[in-house]
Amino acid sequence: MIRRDLGYLQRVDREIAFKSMRLTDQLYSDTKEDDSNRHKEAEGHFEKGIEIFTAGNIPSALYHFEKAFTIENNPLVSSYYAFCIAKERGLFKKAIAICSEAIQKEPQNSLLYLNLGRIYRLSKRNGDAVKIFREGLQYAVDQQIIDELTKLGIRKRPVIPFLKRRNPLNKYLGIILHKLRLR
C-alpha cells in the first residue's frame, strides 16, 4: 500500500513538473514577445524624440525620451533624457548622475559625452564641460562636440603661470601683449 502511494506521488510529481515546465516555457515565450514589443515601443519613442529634439522642441522631446527611458534604460536614451530634464526642469544634479551612469555603461560613445558636457554648460560649470567634451573627442571626432568647444572658447595660459589668472599683473600683461600681437 505504501509502495502504491509512493508510485502515485511520483507520477503526480512528474505531471506537476511537466506542467510547470510547459507553463514556464509559455511564460518565457510570452515575455520574449513582450520584451520585443517593449523594445520596439521604446525605440519608436526615442526616434520621435530625436526628431523633435533636432527641431528644437525640447519639452515635446522630453516627453518621448521620458517614455523611452521608463520602458528601456538604454545609455543613449538616458543621456538625451538627462539633457532634457536639465534644460527644461533645471534638475542638474539628477541629470549629471543619469548621464554619468550612461557613460559608465558605454564609455566609447561620444554622444554621451556631448550631452553631459551640455548639461555642465547649462549648469554654468564650463571647466567641467570642456573636460568632458575633450574626453568625448578622444573616442570619436564629433563635429557637434567641436562646435560646443568653440562656443565656449578656449583661453590661453596666463602670462605668468604661477600667478592666478585674475591677478592684475597677469590680466594687464595679457591685454597689452594681445594688443601688441605678441600673444
- Per the CB < 8 A criterion, the answer to whether 177 and 159 are in contact is yes
Higher pLDDT, 39 or 89: 89
21 in a structural domain: no
- Answer yes or no: do 110 and 135 share one domain: yes
Compute the mean pLDDT over every residue in the chain, rounded to the nearest whole number: 81
- State what percent of residues in the chain have pLDDT above 90: 34
pLDDT in tens, 14-31: 454 444 445 445 544 445
- Answer yes or no: do 140 and 105 share one domain: yes
- Answer yes or no: do 140 and 181 share one domain: no
* Closest by CA position to 59, among listed 38, 37, 87, 36: 87
Enter the pTM of the model: 0.68
Q: Which domain holds residue 144?
A: 73-152
